[in-house]
């Protein structure tokens, strides 16, 4: 993806030069752009292999997303950041603080304050107001457009996508993390295991399950212990439809299944599971305010923008960033959209955009 400047700020020559430079790669990629991941996975004679690929990229995404992911890992351009997402976020926070930024925690934004067509600040849930020359929202786009901005500036393209989740699905998941009191050696960090027989879990028949072993990251557990997780496909509507009692019972069932899967693969873990934590689609809603628990945005479709510049007609002093502006999102999309927002801000202020 071209990230030197926001795509709408590229001149015609720059767009053409990027396309010409990458024509060979784009041609190769287009072969996979004609297939969905589900069609790609179905080509394998061994269904478990197809299933393993689907654990990486959802079935309704284009297969080109898999190629781009694998290529970027092969090129050393992406990988697992040691310490996981928390350490990763902390490093970004530190950089921001070093540059003079201020961070507020436990500070839920309820409204973006708008005066005379210009965003002038934020109103927090605890009643505080914080003013600013510009407001940039990197929060969930649905929460930003429909709640923080009270649906007054929602562009049609987003209204259509958010109004029809059945036509434009977004992926979510459930996970069970287990802290195990022994070292579990495994060459692969991520496995897809076939079950002896299918089980009915969270309203879905499940024939295989993902098992992640974080033993390669020594920051995850003290010496002699291992963190392992089971990864499940999940249906947001199913989880959202449960009452509290049913919800807790489903979580318990997941935890029991995860323990069985773990011990089935690594008998040495029997009796050694010290802590368990289950995450469901509703956990992502509660902790991240993520629309429908989505951890990525929409797959490729003619109705999904490749890039939405984040400017809302009728609202000055505001930029929307985050994964929803660069579908299908993920960290690269989210990070690029943040860079674009900073670039746009510099342009609005008549400043050169520089990175250090």
Site residues (CB under 6 A) for ligand FAD?
108-109, 138-140, 143, 288-290, 295-296, 322-323, 329-332, 334
- Of all residues in the shown chain, the one whose CB is closest to ligand FAD is 330
Contact 179, 273 (CB under 8 A): yes
Q: Residue 175: which residues within 8 A CB-CB, separation 6 or more?
A: 229, 230, 231, 232, 278, 279
Least Å distance, CB 201 to ligand FAD, is: 18
Phi and psi torsions of 74, nearest 5°: -60, -40
**Residue 36 vs 137, nearer CB to ligand FAD:** 137
**Residue 248 vs 331, nearer CB to ligand FAD:** 331
Contact 282, 251 (CB under 8 A): no
**Residue 151 vs 246, nearer CB to ligand FAD:** 151
Least Å distance, CB 179 to ligand FAD, is: 17
**Residue 27 vs 103, nearer CB to ligand FAD:** 103
Least Å distance, CB 338 to ligand FAD, is: 7
Listed as own residue / partner, the contacts of 254-259 with beta carbons closer than 8 Å and 24 or more positions apart are 254/174, 254/176, 254/201, 254/202, 254/230, 254/278, 254/280, 255/176, 257/176, 257/199, 257/201, 257/209, 257/230, 258/176, 258/178, 258/229, 258/230, 259/178
Taking alpha carbons only, the member of 281, 224, 276 closest to residue 255 is: 276
**Residue 184 vs 279, nearer CB to ligand FAD:** 279
**Residue 135 vs 334, nearer CB to ligand FAD:** 334
Q: CA torsion 135→137→138→144, rounded to 10°?
A: 170
Least Å distance, CB 308 to ligand FAD, is: 12
Least Å distance, CB 166 to ligand FAD, is: 21
Least Å distance, CB 108 to ligand FAD, is: 4
């Amino acid at each position: 993806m071209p990230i030197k400047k926001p795509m709408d700020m590229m001149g015609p020559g720059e767009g053409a030069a990027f396309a010409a430079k990458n024509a060979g790669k784009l041609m190769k990629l287009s072969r996979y752009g004609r297939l969905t991941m589900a069609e790609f996975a179905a080509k394998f004679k061994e269904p478990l292999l197809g299933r393993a690929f689907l654990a990486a990229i959802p079935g309704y995404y284009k297969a080109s997303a898999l190629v781009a992911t694998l290529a970027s890992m092969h090129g050393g351009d992406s990988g697992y950041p040691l310490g996981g997402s928390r350490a990763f976020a902390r490093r970004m926070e530190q950089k921001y603080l070093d540059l003079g930024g201020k961070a507020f925690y436990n500070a839920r934004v309820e409204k973006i304050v708008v005066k005379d067509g210009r965003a002038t600040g934020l109103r927090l849930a605890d009643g505080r107001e914080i003013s600013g020359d510009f407001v940039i929202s990197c929060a969930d786009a649905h929460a930003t457009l429909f709640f923080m901005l009270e649906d007054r500036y929602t562009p049609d393209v987003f209204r259509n996508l958010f109004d029809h989740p059945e036509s434009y699905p977004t992926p979510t998941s459930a996970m069970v993390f287990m802290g195990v009191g022994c070292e579990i050696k495994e060459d692969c960090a991520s496995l897809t295991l076939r079950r002896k027989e299918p089980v009915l879990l969270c309203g879905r028949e499940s024939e295989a399950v993902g098992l992640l072993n974080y033993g390669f990251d020594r920051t995850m557990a003290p010496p002699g212990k291992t963190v392992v997780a089971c990864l499940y496909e999940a249906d947001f509507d199913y989880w959202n439809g449960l009452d509290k009692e049913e919800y807790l019972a489903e979580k318990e069932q997941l935890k029991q299944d995860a323990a069985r899967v773990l011990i089935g693969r690594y008998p040495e873990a029997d009796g050694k599971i010290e802590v368990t934590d289950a995450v469901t689609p509703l956990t992502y809603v509660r902790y991240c305010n993520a629309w429908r628990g989505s951890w990525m945005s929409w797959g490729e479709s003619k109705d999904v923008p490749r890039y939405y510049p984040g400017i809302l007609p009728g609202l000055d002093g505001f930029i929307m960033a985050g994964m929803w502006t660069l579908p299908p999102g993920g960290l690269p999309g989210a990070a690029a959209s943040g860079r674009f927002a900073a670039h746009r801000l510099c342009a609005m202020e008549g400043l050169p955009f520089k990175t250090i």
